[in-house]
A and B are shown apart, each in its own frame.
Chain A
Amino acid sequence: MERRRSRRLDLALGGLGLASLLLLYWVGSRTTTFVPPIGEVVSQIPAFLTEEEIWVDVVATVRRVFGALAIAMGVGFLAAYVMSRGGLWGRVIDRYVSIMLGIPSTIAALLALFIFKRSEVGVYFVVAIITFPFVALTLLQGLRAADRRLDEMSEVYRLSTVAHARHVAGPHLVPYTFAALRNEYAHAWKVVVLAELFAVNTGMGARFARAFDRFLLVDAMLWLLLFMLILLGTEYLLLLPAERRILRWRVSAREAAAGEGAA
């Protein structure tokens, strides 16, 4: 009963937040020249979504986000592993990660333009270089929080290195991997748009820039809406349910108490 009430309250507050945003948008469109009227934007949505060529750019951006994120996850894991081992290389990588954390996305995008010219590689480079330090730090936390007691158990029961990785170390890192993935997924989307502005002529970032340059404000707004829809949609419909399913072994405090009560 209390749960249902709390859920209703959540929904109501969420609706209120959305309504206030729409109100602000409406006020903005009435008082400025650079925010197109909401009705005009909405009326253009069907035509915009049925244009074939927009999906070419969407696919290009999605491919870059997923590709660069995969590289960032891989490099981030390696960096975290080396840092967790300490020693000379651990310290060296630690410094690299610290420095990379301080590089603004715009500077990285300009650097990529100098190094790779206007090429696809530049976009991957920018997204990976900006997101991997955050991945490394999150996974490092996970590696440092490894449960030594479970390591002892696996030693006593003689789990092989592969079995230990599969049943002990790997599953322990899964929540940290998901945390890194979810945080950096949104981050990667934002960075990829920036990189596309500088480095390439395709993708959602490039299309957004083109619309803005030509003062096609409705188009710019439609690209923005599509960007938000894809980002939030994939996060809430793909990543979050996947995380919930994979981490379903975790129990809430309420369930744990119920388990104790059943003793």
Chain B
Amino acid sequence: MMREGTVTPVGTHDYIRVEGLRVSYDRENTAIEDLDMVVGKGEFVAVLGPSGCGKSTLLHVMAGLLRPEAGRVDIGGRPVGGPADGEAPRIGYVFQDHRLLPWRTVGQNLRTVLRSAGVPAEQIEERIDRYLGMLHIERFRNTWPMRLSGGQRQRVSIARALAIHPAVVLMDEPFSTLDEVTARLMRQQLAQLWEESSQTIVFVTHSIREALFLADRIYILTRGPARVFDVVTVMLDRPRGYEDLRLTELEGQIVDRVMEVWGYGAVDAAPDREG
């Protein structure tokens, strides 16, 4: 079930191509060092790493919010950060915090990005209805975001990302601030949505189980500066169960592998393993 080694782009595994990426916040603090990655069209890829290792920085570069010091990111054969013309790849981004406009209702939040994405006016309302319906939040269409719960806001954020029909959806630990029950429900819904839409998704997380539950492949990063430590292919049928024992087994294997490289060491790990 696990495949080690360097990334070898084959077949459709080159829709997103990250090559030789290096990002520094200043000359001394390197967040990402020589990182390569490929993601196929319609693939669900998780990026797994310890907190603060540079995962979010990677998504920022992929979204064009940050310029790399070296290397490049191409999406659908077009460089990210190039001219924002009609051909530039459209990105849907689900941030860790919802980042909805608090002074616009749920419907208005979606309408704003749909207009900016150039969606024809006659399709906008239908699109809002469809995606709010898919996320089971259609009744909140005229509600202010601040009156919603954390889970509902994150659903709106996901609906916003999907509604523009992006080339890729980037998700930055979107469920990490939710309570466990809500987070599990959201993961299940996301997995279902992905199966229905075949949307290309890059999902950043520090939760091994979450990555295993959701993704086709997992890029495991080292502690900062982030490099690819391992690439894992999750060959489990869908739909998956969050409590599936095979996930538990795989989780254990990954924990064993990353223990050293994430800097926790064998001594710290011993009591857990014995327990």
- Name A's B-contacting residues (CB within 8 A): 149-150, 152-153, 155-160, 163, 167-168, 171-172, 174, 248-251, 255-256, 259-263
Contacts and interface: CB of A to CB of B under 8 A. Distances in A.
B144 A249 contact: yes
A37 B37 CA distance: 87
Contact of A158 (B95, B117, B149, B182): B117
Interface string B89-119: 0110101010101111000000011011100
Contacts of A149: 95, 97, 99
A44 to B, nearest CB: 48
B103 A174 contact: yes
Contact of B150 (A158, A163, A249, A260): A260
B7 interface: no
Contact of A157 (B103, B116, B149, B179): B116
B103 A159 contact: no
B84 A158 contact: yes
Question: At the interface, is chain B mostly helix, strand, loop or mixed?
Answer: loop
Contacts of A256: 146-147
Question: At the interface, is chain A mostly helix, strand, loop or mixed?
Answer: helix
Interface in B76-94: 84, 90-91, 93
A158 to B, nearest CB: 5
Given A157-B164, A159-B116, A249-B144, A171 B149 contact: no
A156 B112 contact: no
Given A150-B99, A249-B102, A156 B91 contact: yes
B104 A167 contact: yes
Given A153-B95, A249-B102, A263 B182 contact: yes
Contacts, number: 76
B2 interface: no
A211 B269 CA distance: 89
B220 to A, nearest CB: 26
Q: How large is the interface on B (under 10, 10 to 19, 20 to 34, 35 or more residues)?
A: 20 to 34
B148 interface: yes
Contacts of B117: 157-158
Nearest to B113: A157
A48 to B, nearest CB: 44
A250 B117 CA distance: 28
B63 interface: yes
Nearest to B153: A259
Nearest to B96: A149
A261 B164 CA distance: 30
Contacts of B151: 263
B84 A259 contact: no
Contact of A156 (B65, B102, B148): B65
A255 B179 contact: no
Nearest to B179: A263
A159 B84 CA distance: 11
B115 A153 contact: no
Contacts of A163: 112, 115-116
B189 interface: no
A79 to B, nearest CB: 25
A156 B63 contact: yes
Contact of A249 (B84, B103, B113): B103
**Residue among A150, A156, A174, A248 with the highest chain B CB neighbour number at 10 A:** A156
B199 interface: no
A153 B113 CA distance: 10
A251 B147 contact: yes
16 contacts: A150-B101, A153-B93, A156-B63, A157-B117, A157-B160, A157-B164, A167-B104, A171-B103, A174-B103, A250-B102, A250-B146, A255-B147, A259-B148, A259-B152, A260-B150, A263-B151
What 10 pairs across the A-B complex have the smallest Cβ distances? A263-B149, A171-B103, A153-B99, A157-B113, A249-B144, A156-B93, A251-B146, A249-B103, A159-B116, A259-B147
A172 B182 CA distance: 30
Interface string B21-64: 00000000000000000000000000000000000000000011
A203 B179 CA distance: 63
A260 B178 CA distance: 11
A167 B101 contact: yes
Contacts of B144: 248-249, 251
A158 B82 CA distance: 13
A159 to B, nearest CB: 5
Contacts of B150: 260, 263
A149 B96 CA distance: 11
